[in-house]
Amino acid sequence: MKRIILNVLILLIVMLATGCTPNADTVDTPLYSGKSLFIGVVGEVPKIREEHVHFTSISFNELADYTKLSSQYDAVFIMKEHLQEADDNKYTKVYTNAGVPFFFIGAAKSFMPFVLEDVSYEHSSLKNFNNDMYVTGYLQTGETYKYWEYGLYNGKVNEPNIKDVYSRMFTTIESIENGTYNLSPSL
């Protein structure tokens, strides 16, 4: 009888312990705690955890005057529903000359269709260097460039994982502002 009670207690402890473990589909990461950021967004403004990151909705027409972007925004996000339009060759000059990082949200393909003329996003076979990416970022200054890829924890698309990606992107944006990033030779 004692053995049965002991086994039941052990079983209950194991069940309670496993029931209290974090969800394997999400990750609990720190919030971005750096300086206030101002980000232009083409598309719907994302839901984030941070209160000191400010978004302004902008249009593709506003992107066309790219000389003002770096003085107004720390970065520009182009949301998934606008990636096809963002691929238009007329915006290549914007992405390569604006001096501000662009982040293509939900881009399952490389940044290259956006920065190389005549490479179509829709028909491109260019994948992100890591196929599980959720965001591709790109910054070109002069003859040098930098790109970033951000994946979701365990490849799971859910709100906590998406918010984690944004927090990591904000940290990258701040490092650009601080000059603590290295740029690679241009394409």
Q: Over range 92-96, report the average pLDDT.
A: 92
Contacts (Cβ under 8 Å, ≥6 apart) of 19: none
Amino acid at 175: S
Report the DSSP beta bridge partners of residue 41. Answer: 57, 77
pLDDT tens for residues 51-79?
999 999 999 999 988 998 999 999 999 99
pLDDT value of position 161: 93
pLDDT value of position 80: 94
| 3-state helix vs strand vs coil in the chain, percent to 5 | 40, 20, 40
According to DSSP, the β-strands at 75-78 and 37-42 are parallel
pLDDT value of position 130: 47
pLDDT tens for residues 133-178?
899 999 999 889 999 999 998 888 899 999 999 999 999 999 997 7
Which residue in 99, 100, 104, 128 sits closest to 114, CA to CA?
104
pLDDT value of position 16: 44
pLDDT value of position 108: 76
Domain boundaries, the chain: 2-185
pLDDT value of position 122: 57
pLDDT value of position 1: 57
- Please indicate, yes or no, whether the overall pTM of this predicted structure exceeds 0.85: no
Which residue in 154, 158, 132 sits closest to 47, CA to CA?
158
pLDDT tens for residues 1-55?
555 554 444 544 544 444 444 557 777 789 999 999 999 999 999 999 999 999 9
If one compares 131 and 41, the residue with the highest pLDDT of the two is 41
Contacts (Cβ under 8 Å, ≥6 apart) of 130: 149, 151
Give the whole-angstrom CA distance, residue 38 versus residue 58: 12
